[in-house]
Structure formats: structure tokens, C-alpha cells
Structure 1
Amino acid sequence: MNSVFFCWFSSIEKCSFTATLEGDTTFSSVQGLTIIVKSDQGEVHYEVNDAAEERALVLAEVYRYQSKFKFRAIGRGFNGGLKPLAESFGVEVEEEESSSSQQAKPQPEAERPVQKISLTKIDLLKKKVAISLEKKKIQQVKARVAVVFDASGSMAGLYSKGTVQRAFERVLAVAACMDDNGELDVWFFASKFMRAASVREHDFEDYIQRTYPRPKMFGGLGVGNNEPAVMHDVIKKYTKEEPRDDMPTYVIFFSDGGIFEDKKISNILIDSSKQNLFWQFVGIGNAKYGILQKLDTLPGRFIDNAGFISLDDLDQIDDEELYNRLLHEFPVWLSAAKAHGLLK
């Protein structure tokens, strides 16, 4: 049976979608129970396939988050059917009188919760990351994962359009799969830089909007490009403050170009080529990326410790292709780093 639900929200904060079965039938006998949520960004499929003796289920909910509405899969079950389901929402259900009222009433059936599933955008992206990691044969590798975002004046349009937030979400999924503690370390830079709060996958909503240092916030970072300053701070964190010789560091560095410090950037990469740190530069915004495009052939390094990909329109590349490209050179560097003793 297919069902289509339409909800119009005004003052409603949450809409729950439930299902019940009559008689002694349980959801263990129901096949193909799937919720499909369609949006401008595609479809989300949530299949309920782990129910057992439940006769009532809370399938999912749509809830208000700030000015938007979000979808969350729930999968909570009740053995007793409609009555405990209704009571879980605060609805009182009166017991029916029966001719056997003199007899002792049976104990209420125990409520058996189905494993709760919180399906988020990051959960879906993690599946794509896992596919790429398996293809690269590095699915067991743990690394410290960081992202650096260009916050110069020329990037303002990409921030206001939500492009940087979407880039952040796709990188956060990499950290959720690879990082040793599931955290993504974040930097922003322009003329100056800011080391932002690290973030986990459950705090991804509007992270960029909450954190992005606009010109009038945090004293402002200026409008120019100063890549060397933020690169030095990244190196400082992972080699001086929190050194690890058994854990690689994977840095994804987003920029729309406007780069003038070619010699300084080159020297930083040469110097850091003896550290267990890999730089993945990503050009966005259809701009001139300068020295970033030449990093693969930069001479004088101990090992090749950097890669560059150009994503002129980040929203036009599908997730699987993006992760294949982001992770293309990291396994090669990883092998070289181990072979040359940079990683124990």
C-alpha cells in the first residue's frame, strides 16, 4: 500500500507519521514498509526492516528547525498497538468494560522499542564516503581530518548562496568516517585567520552561518588572501600542539583563487613534506587558482604531500564522484609516508 502525506505548517512545530495494525498481526509480517521523502535535493529512502512483534510504529517526523523543516526517521515500536501509541503522545485511552471485569486484569504488554534511527544528511553522505574508502582500500584508516575555508571578500557570494555550507557538510561526512574521534577541525582565513570550534556530525545544521566570520564579526578577517598564515597554524596544531607519529592528518583546503604568495606557499609545502600531513586543495568558484594548480609537480619535496582538484560548480558534481576525487591522492601519499618512516 502506498500512502502520500501532505502537511501545511503554520504554528505546528512537529508532525509525526505513525502506523498501526489490527488484530494479532505484527509488523514482522509486513514487507516493503518504506518512507520516501522528496525534496529539491533529491530523495531520501528510509526502510523499516527491523520490526518484530510490534503492532504500532512511530515511523518518522517532520519538525521545525529555525525557519526550515527537517525530516527524522524514528522507528519506535509498541507491542500493544494503538493504545500505547496514543498514550506516548499524551492521549488518554479509557479501558472498555467487559463481562469478566471481576477477573484480574492482565498486565499491560511491555513496550518494546525498535532501534531508533536518526537519519540525517550526514548519514547519507557517509554511505558515499564508505564506498570511496573501500574502493581506495583505506576503509580501516583513521586520520585527523581538517578543513580550511577561504573567507576573503571574493567568497562572499558562495557563503550567501549556501555553497560553503554544502561543501562543509560533504567534508564533515569524511571526518565522521575517518577521523579518530569523529571531529572535523575547522579554519577560516582571509587577510587574517580564525581557528574555529571543531564540530561533530550531529551539530552540522547551519554550522557555517553560525561560525563564518563575516567582516563585522570577531573583528573581521579582512578581504584579502593570506594562505601562509593559516597554513602555519594548521601545521602548528598537528606538529607542535598535538603531535602524533601514528596518525596521519588530512587537510582539505577550499579556495576560489586570488593567490599571490606563491613562493611562501611552495616553501611551506616543501618544509611540511617531512611531516605526516597531506594537503588536498580544492578550487571552487570558477576562478584562477594560481600556484594551487602546480602543486602536484612542485619540486624539492621529500614526498608528494599535496593534491589539487578544481570544482568550478560544487553543486553539479555528485557525491560519489566528489569523494573519489577528494580521496584520489591521499592513499598514494599514505603509502609513501609509511615507506619513508613519517608514520609509525
Structure 2
Amino acid sequence: MILKKGANTYLQQINNAQLELYWEAGQVSPYCLLLDKNGEMIQVIAGFEEAPFLFEQSDKRAQYSINLNWLPVEISKLVFACLKPSGKVGMAIEDIRYEVSHLYQDSAIVIGEIYRYKNGWKIRAVGEAVKGGRKELLQLYYFSEKEELPAAPRIVTVIDASIHNQELFESGNLQKLFKDLFIASSIVNPLLEMDVYFFAVLHEKGVKATKENFQSYVQNHYPQPGYFNGLGLENDEGPILDELIEEYRDSETIYYFLTSGDIPDPDLLLTRLAGTNGFWEMIVLNGEIGSGTTYRNIKVIPYPKLSTMKAGEIHQTLLRPINIWRSQTKEALVRI
């Protein structure tokens, strides 16, 4: 199917949409912009394997593999554009194709967009030139006049490696949860890296989790509980929290804190975290913690609730409280 400018049609393969941008010549920079329901830009993202996006680029093409079902509900539209193309440029997805020609090298071009429509997704042929470059392209979607994106928050995951969570590790569920945490964090941190700590009685900082190693990270780095060759059998949140609060006190930080829930005075712990400048998602692997008090920068999530959800639901559950907190405290990368 050849689309004409302004035409649209439904997409069928929303679980694995394969969109290709291609061009004839020039040092072209392809862009994918994520927009909210108001048409304002949320983020520029390329992605990685098993996340919403997998991005590959060669001399004259860029390939996006997109799982649209995994996108947070805040994302309503994906805009595909190129900077400085010359000659013909086009996009192809499923059996749908659209091309634009007679372009000027001093312009950006918005080629097409994928957007939510009722219970599905549609693609529209846009074909509009934007005089200028990256700055002008971003301003088209109500982004700040600053050339650069706001600094992304630091992402820190803290994993309870005590004897209480050994069964969760042996079943593979801890590994799966970590992968979901990493994927969800990519929406607010396009650097695609994460600091990781393990704790029991003792604690240690692991190597960074990245797009290259996140899928097998826990399997390869999880310390088996033990007195002599591990971090101990029981858990002690106090020392690791002391280190985290000191280490990240000067940066905007999002913490995924995985705890067995065996905390002597959970309300005292939560009150302490409420006084920090980060956002804490306390994922309770066994049971519940706290008395139900609501804190601005803390969200307590029972793991049994997450374990019954599909991937897209998990990512939305993890992202929504973070987005609300960021929108209330400073300019957010992901807006509500």
C-alpha cells in the first residue's frame, strides 16, 4: 500500500511493529519523538532488545522494532523524522510505504507518525519539512528552547540478597523482575544504565547494568546467601541506606528497593526516606511494610501484585508514580 501525504491506516503487528526509515544521500540523523496526548514531546528514544524499541542504523536506513503494547499510556504518538536529508526519503512498515522527495539539505523532515486510535494504533504519512535542524524540530513539539534534553535521573536498584529471597532467585522470578525494572527505567533514562547494589547483613555495589548485560545480570551477579562467602543470611537495610543517601544526595535519583519485607520498624524507615531528594519504589517481595501512610516520594508495591501482571502493565505500574513525582517536583521527561 502506498500512502499519500496526510493519509492514515491501521497497523496490524502492534506487538512487533517493524518500521524502516530510508534515504538516498546525506549524513542523515533519524529521530523518533515520543509525544503525550497534548502533542508535547516526552522523550527522544532509540531503545534496546526486549524494551519497547530496538534501533539499528546503517548508511542509508534506520530500523525500529517497536512493541506498542509495552508503551506507557502517557505516550500517545511516535513521530519519525530525519535531519539533513537530500533527495528522496521514505518510511516502510508492514506492506505500507510512503516517500517524500525534493528536499533541501538545510531542513529537517517529519516523515510519519504512529498514534493511538480507539483500541488500536494507526500510521499517518506526514511529509512536512522543518526549516532548521534539531533545535527547530524539537521546538515544533513544544519542547524547551534549550538545545539539550534535561538531565536524566540516576537509576539505582537495590536487591535484598538474604536467605528470605533465595526461592525467588532459584525460580527465576527475581531475574525476570530485574529485567522489567531495567526496561521500565529506559523511558525516563535514555542512558540505559543502572547502578546495582546487593545487601543482606553486609552489602556490596555490583557492576553497572547496561543494555548489553541486563538480561542475564541477576543470574550472573547475584551473591548466594552465606556467612563465609556471601553477604550473610539475614537482611539489614540500615547500612545500605546510609551509603545510598550519602552517595546520591546531590543528584536526582530513582531507587528500586527490593526488600523481603522483614524490617523491624518499617514506618521509621519510610519516614527517613521521605526526607531524601530521591524517589523510592519499595518493592516488597514477601508480605507488606508500613502502616499505609502516604509519602510524596515513596511508593510501596507488593511483588505478588506485579507477578500477576503482563509486561506492559508492570511497566505502567512502575512508571506512573515516578512520573507524578517528577511532574510535581521539576520539569519531567515523562509528563502526566
> TM-score, length-normalised on structure 1?
0.53
Aligned partner of 1:163 in structure 2 is: 173
Task: Determine if the alignment matches structure 1 residue 210 to structure 2 residue 212.
Answer: no
**Structure 1, residues 23-43: CA drift from partner, whole Å, max 9, x if none?**
xxxxxxxxxxxxx9xxxxxx9
Could you tell me how far apart the structure 2 residues matched to 1:201 and 1:76 are?
A: 17
Identity percentage over the alignment?
A: 21
Q: Does residue 258 in structure 1 map to residue 277 in structure 2?
A: no
Q: State the partner residue of 1:235.
A: 245
- Pairing partner for 1:225 from 228, 232, 235: 235
**What letter corresponds to residue 262 of structure 1 in structure 2?**
P
Equivalent pair of 1:252/1:281 in contact (CA under 8 Å) = yes
SS of the residue 1:281 aligns to: strand
Count of residue pairs the alignment pairs up: 220
SS at match of 2:263: coil
2:287 is matched with 288
Report the CA distance between 1:164 and its aligned residue. 1.0
The 8 Å contact of residues 143 and 180 in structure 1, kept in 2 or not, is answered as no
Question: Does the CA-based 8 Å contact 1:295-1:307 persist in structure 2?
Answer: no
Letter in 2 for 1:290: I
SS across alignment from 2:240: helix
**Structure 1 unaligned regions, length at least 5:** 1-35, 37-42, 54-69, 78-111, 298-303, 340-344
Q: For residue 15 of structure 1, what is the aligned residue in structure 2?
A: none
Alignment check: 8 A CA contact 2:162 2:225 kept? no
Does 2:272 align with 1:268? yes
Structure 2 partner of 1:325: 317
What SS is found at the alignment partner of 1:181? Answer: coil
Deviation string, structure 1 residues 92-131 (Cα, Å, up to 9, x no partner): xxxxxxxxxxxxxxxxxxxx886467x6xxx75xx66642
Q: CA deviation at 1:188?
A: 1.2
User: Offset of 1:320 from its aligned partner?
Assistant: 2.1
The 5 Å alignment of 1:28-47 reads 45=16, 47=18
Query: What residue in structure 1 maps to residue 101 of structure 2?
Result: none
Amino acid at match of 2:257: F
| Residue in structure 2 matched with residue 19 of structure 1 by the alignment | none
| Aligned residue runs from structure 1 range 83-94, under 5 A | none
Distance 1:250 1:74 in 2: 25
1:191 aligns with 2:195: no
| Structure 2 partner of 1:92 | none
Deviations 1:118-169 (A, max 9, x none): x6xxx75xx666424537xxx9773111111111111001101111111111
Alpha-carbon shift at residue 211 of structure 1 (Å): 0.7
- The answer on whether the counterparts of 1:259 and 1:289 sit within 8 Å (CA) in structure 2 is no
The 3-state SS of whatever aligns with 2:292 is helix
Q: Which structure's relative contact order is higher, taking Cα pairs within 8 Å and 6+ residues apart?
A: 2
What's the CA shift string for 1:187-245, capped at 9, x where partnerless?
Answer: 11111211111111121232111110113598311121211222222112211xxx23x
Q: In the TM superposition, what whole-angstrom CA distance separates every residue of 1:35-70 from its partner, at most 9, and x where no partner exists? A: x9xxxxxx97464756899xxxxxxxxxxxxxxxx9
Which structure has more helix as a fraction of its residues?
Answer: 1
Which amino acid is 1:320 matched to?
Answer: G
CA gap of 1:182–1:47, structure 2 versus 1, over 3 A, is closer
